[in-house]
Amino acid sequence: MGEIKIKKLTTELLDIPIKRPHQFATVKVSSKSFVLIRLELSNGFIGIGEGTTPGIWWNGESVETMQLVIEQYIAPLLAEEDPRNLETLLQRINRHIRGNAFAKATVEMALYDVIGKIYNVPVYQLLGGLYQERIPVRWSLASGTPEGDIQEAKDYVMSGQYHIFKIKSGKASPSDDVRRSIHIADGIKDDSTIGIDPNGSWDRLTSKKSMEDLSKSNIDFIEQPLPPNDIEGLAQLADMKQVPIMADESLQSIHDALRLVDQKAADIFSLKIHKSGGMKNTVKIAGIAEAAGISCFGGTSLESSIGTAACLHAYCSISNLDYGSELFGPDWLADDLVTDPITIKEGQIQVPHQPGLGVELDEDKIATYKRTCKQGVSN
């Protein structure tokens, strides 16, 4: 195949509107920001990667910090290197740069994309092969009101687009959050069920007092009810065996996975390729979960079709992804960045089978949504 070298790495920031405002625990958003990277090789092949976060409040990274780290610190480490030596490159990046998992995952994504193109295989073949072609998707109800969430869920069930749901909590007090969650669960009990995601905003006492009532409302799971460092508290909730406890913010590395297993602090692992530093680490974490008898859930950072494709390649290679996913990003955005966006049909999403990530950039859309000035600055 001959010598192949990385010749160029470029980045650009993009801002895409979403279909309706989305309420997180700490902020309400009406658009989503991305950093897009292109990795150009000496043979003319180009790998693409997409970085995005729920927000800087979630893990301390933003698209702006990711762009800086990638351009100034990661790009020089890759110059003139063979992208096929993936593990060597990833270890070099880790030795030189602490943390910055989202930035690292974005670069790894582009490397996997271009390696898949070199060998003419989809990325899932580089991760161990395909276990399942499609995955169920949960829609996140975050209209801002309980009545709005109930109606949105009923509308989606009626249309057949989505069948199961998740709700965001954390804006109100923990006790009010619990009452609101039960109200929504009871409001759609004849149609569907929900999982709850407080993003680490609840306290131990309220959570313990509420577990029985949440169980009676058939809550599917509680995702990260307590702050990320409160592993002991998560273990106490899991030990109550009322509602399955899912770890998300507490699970950001293979080392976190081992700690959660050791302390029996989670029934479900929420996987996310960006928070764990890439697809390879995500598959490793799923392997730790499998050894411990823990189920996995395919989490999202609300990616476009680019990042969603990367998630799919990883998740579809995992055998213990028992709780489906929430890969609704392409449906949540008002537009996309690729020529053939990934679609969700009847609550299912399918992995692309083309070489690499299996998606191609739409250059007109890139030009439309490219950021041309600093956000938050006006004359």
Query: Is 168 one of the annotated active-site residues of the chain?
Result: yes
Cβ atoms of residues 307 and 109 within 8 Å:
yes
The whole-angstrom separation of Cα 33 and Cα 46 is: 22
Cβ atoms of residues 144 and 168 within 8 Å:
no
Cβ atoms of residues 307 and 318 within 8 Å:
no
For the chain, helix, strand, coil in percent to 5 are: 40, 20, 40
Query: Rounded to whole angstroms, what are the CA distances from 114 to 74, 108, 237, 252?
Result: 17, 10, 43, 26
What torsion, rounded to 10 degrees, do the Cα atoms 243, 325, 64, 69 define?
100
Q: Which residue of the set 168, 275, 280, 365 is catalytic?
A: 168
The whole-angstrom separation of Cα 123 and Cα 100 is: 23
Q: Which residue of the set 61, 108, 303, 326 is catalytic?
A: 326
Quick one: tokens of 212? 């029985």
Quick one: tokens of 3? 């010598």
Q: Name residue 151's amino acid.
A: Q
For residue 130, the tally of other CB atoms under 10 A from its CB is 14
Query: Which active-site residues does the annotation give?
Result: 168, 326
